[in-house]
Amino acid sequence: MAVAAVHAGGIADHIHPEPQGFVRRYVFSLDHKIIGIQYIITAFVFFMLAGLLAEAIRTQLLNPGGGFVANGTYNEIYSIHGSTMVWLVTIPLLTGGFGNLVFPIMIGARDVAFPWLNMLSFWIFPVSGLMLFSSFLLGAPTAGWMEYPPVSLQGAAGTSMWCAAIFLVGVSSTMTGINFVVTILKMRAPGMTFTRMPLFVWGQFATAPLLMIATTALAAALAALFIERQFGVPFFDPAKGGSPVMWQHMFWFYSHPAVYIMILPAFGIISEVLPTFARKPIFGYKLIAFSSMSIALLGFMVWAHHMFTSGLAPFLQLPFMILTYVIGVPTGIKIFSWTATLFRGKIHYTTAMLFAIGFIALFTIGGITGIFLAAIPFDLHVHGTYFIVAHLHYVLVGGSLMGIFAGMYYWFPKMSGRLLNETLGKLHFWLFFIGFNLTFLPMHWLGMEGMPREVATYDPQFTFWNRFESFASYLMTFAILIFFFNAIWSIRNGKRAGANPWGARTLEWQIPSPPNYYNFKHVPTVYGLPYDFSTPLPYKGLDEELTDSPPVPAGAH
């Protein structure tokens, strides 16, 4: 097993030579930066496919009677849309993608702890994605991304393929989680104590154990569903003594932490972008780091709040309601701290900053409706309706995806050496922000008035708002097409970035863009938090003085 050379000291000069040849460098690469870029590109391909599926969903819902696709096909489409967005887009982008790309540099490491394992986890990911999409050929699963049995036991053959695909992507996540935990525990540069780690690293450090533990629990549930479907071994089928509610426990024990897997790294991204462009330290560093860890821990104790209508004993439901309320406290602390970070700053409106501020505005709405849903009496009304659809999209699109876009605009120069076009970027932001709100805000009242989720046809009284949402969603798609055009165009034609186009202070900006193989010739020593703009950089022993970093963020007016 190849293990990366560790930090400074006696082995500082022990650097493997950079491999030559296209395949070793860019395909089966061991370099965490290349693997991160591979993750990002692959995940955005799946993102495009999932976006097409989303537009198919909205097109079907233009008319109350549907008619764009058959009912069964519609059910397949939203199931694959959900599964893709969760497992093939958001989780890989935030952990495997941005995680791999920057956090080893941020802690002053030359690579992750197990580069081979890292390469393996990446290559499992596109394979499982292809498996998931190939389930369309067999008859894709129809019961949504949650695949509750017994209806998923009746599903077409593709449902078993779905189990296998998600199992595999889970194995990949578990390996990534192990890799990241060891990397953060063991490979920090000298002086990089826990209280000096950038907050993105804290985000990854809170996420990695979730990846490692929760994903394995999901693997067990998927394995049970698979063997039940293929070999008739009864776990969930009530006709044979199994329990369908047991699947919900096993599934949500993973999938609630999965929500935090999808949001904690995005919190980290926002906590990097805000101080950089406000020219000001992040407000309440310790409390933000601590709240990430407590959210991760509490995340394991609230899974049954997805199951208030499933027939649990009332005394079991109560603690889940209250613990879910409690999660609101650390989340609120984060939101307040980010807002306070802007106070008395010198705010530069780059696209990354716009997305970060948009994140706070939208995620807060999703967080507040999350508290609504935790209240059992209200949840008994809106569970399984479009209110839930609205809530989860505010958290996962308004939260995670806005964070991902902020990260893309922020770190694209580090990946490619060039800036994304800021004019197109701002157009992307505004169209996306407006389109998103127009699409998902009406879903709140649709759900409260009586529109259930996962439906191919609906009551004609909801026609107006559904059409409204569909047209707004086309606006969102148009915004995303602008982003794709921008990314492809900027790789060749973007403005050259230089090492530190934003004047940021974390370690990844103190080395060239794109970084050299093995990141640092000499591993630097760290003397403090990266966020204080009034002091010199808290690093010693950086490779060379970087004189090409402009003090003003490029693209800010």
Partner 1 sequence: MSVASLARGAHGELDQLYIETRELRLQGFLLFLVSDCVLFSSFIFAYLYLRNSGQGWPPPGIQRLDVAFAAWNSVVLFGSGATMHYALENFKHGKWMAYMWFLLATIVLGAGFLGGQAYEYNHLIYAEHVTWWGSGIFGASFFTLTGMHGMHVFFGVCYLTVLVLQSSAGVYTRGKYFGITAGTLYWHFVDVIWVVLFSIFYLL
Partner 2 sequence: MSSIEHQVPPVRLGRGFWAATAVLTVLAILAIVFWYAFPLERYLPAAIVTARQVDTLFRFMAAAGSALYIFVAGYLVYFAIAFRARRSDPPDAIGVQIHDNHKLEFWWTLIPTLFVILLSIVSVRIWYEIMLEPENGLVVEAIGHQFYFSFRYPQINGEVTDEMHLPLNEPVTLNLTAADVIHGFWVPAMRLKNDTVPGLVTTIRFTPRLAGRYPIICTQFCGVLHSTMNKQVLVIEDKASFERWYRGWQQKNAHASNALPAAGGQAVSLQGGNASAGQTLFAQKCSACHKVAPFDQKLVGPGLKAVLHDPAHPNLVDGKPATEQNVAAILQNGYTGSMGTMPNASANALSAQDIANLVTYLNSLK
Per-residue buried b or exposed e for 15-30, using 16+ beta carbons within 10 Å of the residue's own CB: beeeeeeeeeeeeebb
- Rounded Cα–Cα distance for residues 504 and 200 (Å): 14
Size of the site for partner 1 (CB under 8 A): 44
Q: For residue 528, state whether it binds partner 2 (rule: CB under 8 A).
A: no
> Which CB, 45 or 323, lies closer to partner 2?
323
Residue 246 beta carbon to partner 1: minimum distance, rounded to whole angstroms:
5
Q: For residue 190, state whether it binds partner 2 (rule: CB under 8 A).
A: no
Residue 520's closest CA among 503, 539, 534, 495? 539
Q: For residue 120, state whether it binds partner 1 (rule: CB under 8 A).
A: no
The one segment of 100-108, 112-120, 492-500, 515-523 that binds partner 1 by CB under 8 A? 112-120
> Which CB, 109 or 321, lies closer to partner 1?
109
Two structure tokens written together for 403: 């964070």
Three-state DSSP class for 16? coil
Q: For residue 279, state whether it binds partner 2 (rule: CB under 8 A).
A: yes
Q: For residue 293, state whether it binds partner 2 (rule: CB under 8 A).
A: no
Is the distance from CB of 132 to CB of 103 less than 8 angstroms?
no
- Rounded Cα–Cα distance for residues 529 and 507 (Å): 11
Three-state DSSP class for 113? coil
State which of residues 246, 323, 368, 438 lies at the interface with partner 1 (CB under 8 A): 246
> Which CB, 129 or 330, lies closer to partner 2?
330
Is the distance from CB of 128 to CB of 169 less than 8 angstroms?
yes
Considering only residues 17-76, where is the footprint of partner 2 by CB under 8 A?
66, 69-73, 75
- Rounded Cα–Cα distance for residues 111 and 104 (Å): 6
In single-letter form, the type of residue at position 91 comes to I
Residue 347's closest CA among 110, 179, 557, 56? 557
Three-state DSSP class for 32? helix
Two structure tokens written together for 28: 């089966």
292 binds, among partner 1, partner 2, none (CB under 5 to 8 A by kind): none
345 binds, among partner 2, partner 1, none (CB under 5 to 8 A by kind): partner 2
The one segment of 96-104, 237-245, 447-455, 509-517 that binds partner 1 by CB under 8 A? 237-245
Residue 261's closest CA among 453, 385, 399? 399
Residue 313 CB partners (closer than 8 Å, separation 6+):
none
Considering only residues 119-178, where is the footprint of partner 2 by CB under 8 A?
139, 142-144, 148-151, 154-157
Is the distance from CB of 7 to CB of 523 less than 8 angstroms?
yes
Q: For residue 556, state whether it binds partner 2 (rule: CB under 8 A).
A: yes
Helices marked H in 94-198 — which ranges?
98-106, 115-138, 151-154, 158-186
Residue 342 beta carbon to partner 2: minimum distance, rounded to whole angstroms:
4
> Which CB, 216 or 457, lies closer to partner 2?
457
Q: For residue 385, state whether it binds partner 2 (rule: CB under 8 A).
A: yes
> Which CB, 286 or 492, lies closer to partner 2?
286
Distances in Å between the alpha carbon of 415 and those of 51, 465, 516, 530? 24, 41, 11, 21
In single-letter form, the type of residue at position 521 comes to K
Size of the site for partner 2 (CB under 8 A): 98
> Which CB, 112 or 327, lies closer to partner 1?
112
The one segment of 172-180, 191-199, 255-263, 306-314 that binds partner 1 by CB under 8 A? 172-180
Residue 111 beta carbon to partner 1: minimum distance, rounded to whole angstroms:
11
End-to-end CA distance of the chain: 50
Q: For residue 536, state whether it binds partner 2 (rule: CB under 8 A).
A: no
- Rounded Cα–Cα distance for residues 163 and 398 (Å): 28
Residue 269's closest CA among 181, 207, 214? 207
Two structure tokens written together for 385: 């309706």
Q: For residue 221, state whether it binds partner 1 (rule: CB under 8 A).
A: yes
Q: For residue 101, state whether it binds partner 1 (rule: CB under 8 A).
A: no
- Rounded Cα–Cα distance for residues 370 and 378 (Å): 11
Is the distance from CB of 404 to CB of 90 less than 8 angstroms?
yes
State which of residues 3, 130, 318, 488 lies at the interface with partner 1 (CB under 8 A): 3
> Which CB, 225 or 327, lies closer to partner 1?
225
Q: For residue 316, state whether it binds partner 2 (rule: CB under 8 A).
A: no
In single-letter form, the type of residue at position 99 comes to G
Element (H, E) at 526: strand 525-526
| Residue at token pair 């047991």 | 246
State which of residues 130, 186, 195, 459 lies at the interface with partner 2 (CB under 8 A): 459
> Which CB, 7 or 391, lies closer to partner 2?
391
In the 8-state DSSP scheme, what is residue 289? H
Q: For residue 448, state whether it binds partner 2 (rule: CB under 8 A).
A: yes
> Which CB, 312 or 491, lies closer to partner 2?
312
> Which CB, 53 or 360, lies closer to partner 2?
360
> Which CB, 449 or 543, lies closer to partner 2?
449
Residue 426 beta carbon to partner 2: minimum distance, rounded to whole angstroms:
14
Q: For residue 543, state whether it binds partner 2 (rule: CB under 8 A).
A: no
- Rounded Cα–Cα distance for residues 457 and 466 (Å): 11
Helices marked H in 375-512 — which ranges?
376-382, 386-395, 402-416, 422-449, 463-493
- Residues 249-268, one symbol each (x = binds partner 1 by CB under 8 A, - = not), give xx--x---------------
Q: For residue 360, state whether it binds partner 2 (rule: CB under 8 A).
A: yes
State which of residues 122, 202, 235, 509 lies at the interface with partner 1 (CB under 8 A): 235
Residue 47 beta carbon to partner 1: minimum distance, rounded to whole angstroms:
27
Give the interface with partner 1 as residue ranges (CB under 8 A): 1, 3, 5-6, 9-11, 14, 113-114, 117, 174, 177-179, 181-182, 185-187, 212-213, 215-217, 219-221, 224, 227-228, 231-235, 240-243, 246, 249-250, 253
